[in-house]
């Protein structure tokens, strides 16, 4: 038996990256999947997930669009019967110190990362409350836990997602609904690749890798494995938690002592 047998999971940002990896891992464990994304589906994890799950509705919708979200989720619930697990993975990057960010760019990052998480959760939670059962996993970031130079809008959005996660866990826990967040470190995704392609950021990437205790960037499946745990009954007593999956990036700092001890 798979850990997700009999469960229906909706994943936002499902077309690629972490969202697609989550869809594949859930399908591999016997779950039924559905996806939302503003992008078209690309070959890869989502395609493999569909091959495993069979009927896997995918709706092209912007998570900022309330009417579009409500319509897409209503159709998914009609086709699959219900949504047991929601993975809010849709997100965008945005950088700069606060005086450098335009109002439009600030709003875009906050609206997709925070408002989108709230809006999709708000729409799905109705059915979960009726059944008094459900599970929501929000993809936040280590940048929502600590600051990162030039990341003001993104960090603010992800920090708010973590606090929203805790509030939702409090509000809905007595209704049988668990709510957690996963806080990835720096993961090889199209979103991260697009950021590091900007001029002058190659050295920043190398320094981030050096500051990660495992000495590498993470893979989407490594985040999906954490999501799978939280989505499964193995995490039945876990709620209101922000799980850091970052290769040791936030563990602390190295100053050369490990090399002196022969550990590098």
Q: In this structure, is residue 227 part of a structural domain?
A: yes
Predicted local confidence at residue 43, as pLDDT: 58
> pLDDT tens-digit profile of 144-166?
999 988 889 999 999 999 999 99
pTM: 0.94
Average pLDDT, the chain: 93
Q: Residue 69 to residues 34, 63, 64, 74, 107: CA-CA distances in angstroms?
A: 13, 6, 8, 8, 19
pLDDT tens digits for 212-254?
999 999 999 999 999 999 999 999 999 999 999 999 999 998 8
The predicted pLDDT at position 212 comes to 95
Residue at 119 is within a domain: yes
| Three-state secondary structure of 197-246 | CCCCCHHHHHHHHHHCCCCCCECHHHHHHHHHHHHCHHHCCCCCCEEEEC
Query: 66 lies in a domain?
Result: yes
Instruction: Give pLDDT, residue 77.
Output: 97
How many structural domains comprise the chain? 1
Q: Taking residues 131-156, report their average pLDDT.
A: 95
Residue 179 sits in a domain whose CATH number is 3.40.50.720
- φ and ψ at residue 80, rounded to 5 degrees: -105, -5
**Range from 2-16, 111-125, 200-214 carrying the lowest mean pLDDT:** 200-214
Res 217: pLDDT: 94
The string of pLDDT tens digits covering residues 171-202 is 999 999 999 999 999 999 877 776 666 667 77
- Whether residue 22 is predicted with pLDDT greater than 70 in this model: the reply is yes
In a domain, 3, yes or no: no
Residue 1 belongs to a domain:
no
Q: Is the confidence at residue 71, as pLDDT, over 90?
A: yes
Do residues 221 and 21 make contact, with C-beta atoms less than 8 angstroms apart?
Answer: yes
Quick check: is 154 catalytic?
yes
Of residues 39 and 244, which shows the higher confidence score? 244
Whole-angstrom CA distances from 192 to 60, 188, 195, 206, 220 are: 22, 6, 5, 13, 11
pLDDT at residue 183, rounded to an integer: 98
Which among 46, 58, 154, 172 is annotated as catalytic? 154
Residues facing residue 180 across a β-bridge: 137
Which residue range(s) make up the domain with 119?
Answer: 8-260
Structural domain contains residue 62: yes
Please indicate, yes or no, if residue 2 is contained in any of the structural domains: no
Q: Is residue 87 a part of any domain in this protein?
A: yes
């Amino acid at each position: 038996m798979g850990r997700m047998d009999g469960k229906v999971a909706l994943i936002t940002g499902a077309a690629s990256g972490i969202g697609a990896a989550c869809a594949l891992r859930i399908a591999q464990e016997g779950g039924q999947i559905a996806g939302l994304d503003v992008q078209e589906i690309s070959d890869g994890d989502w395609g493999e997930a569909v091959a495993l799950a069979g009927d896997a509705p995918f709706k092209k919708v912007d998570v900022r669009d309330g009417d579009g979200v409500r319509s897409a989720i209503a159709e998914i619930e009609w086709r699959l019967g219900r949504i047991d697990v929601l993975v809010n993975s849709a997100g965008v990057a945005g950088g700069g110190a606060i005086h450098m960010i335009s109002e439009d760019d600030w709003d875009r990052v906050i609206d997709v990362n925070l408002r989108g998480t709230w809006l999709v959760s708000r729409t799905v939670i109705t059915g979960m409350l009726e059944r008094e059962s459900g599970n929501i996993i929000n993809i936040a970031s280590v940048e929502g836990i600590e600051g990162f130079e030039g990341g003001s809008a993104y960090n603010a959005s992800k920090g708010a997602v973590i606090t929203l996660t805790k509030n939702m866990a409090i509000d809905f826990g007595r209704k049988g609904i668990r709510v957690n967040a996963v806080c990835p470190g720096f993961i090889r995704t199209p979103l991260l690749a697009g950021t590091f392609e900007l001029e002058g950021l190659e050295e920043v990437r190398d320094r981030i890798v050096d500051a990660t205790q495992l000495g590498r960037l993470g893979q989407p499946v490594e985040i999906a494995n954490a999501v799978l745990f939280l989505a499964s009954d193995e995490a039945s007593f876990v709620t209101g938690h922000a799980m850091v999956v970052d290769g040791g990036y936030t563990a602390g700092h190295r100053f050369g002592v490990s090399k002196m001890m022969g550990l590098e």
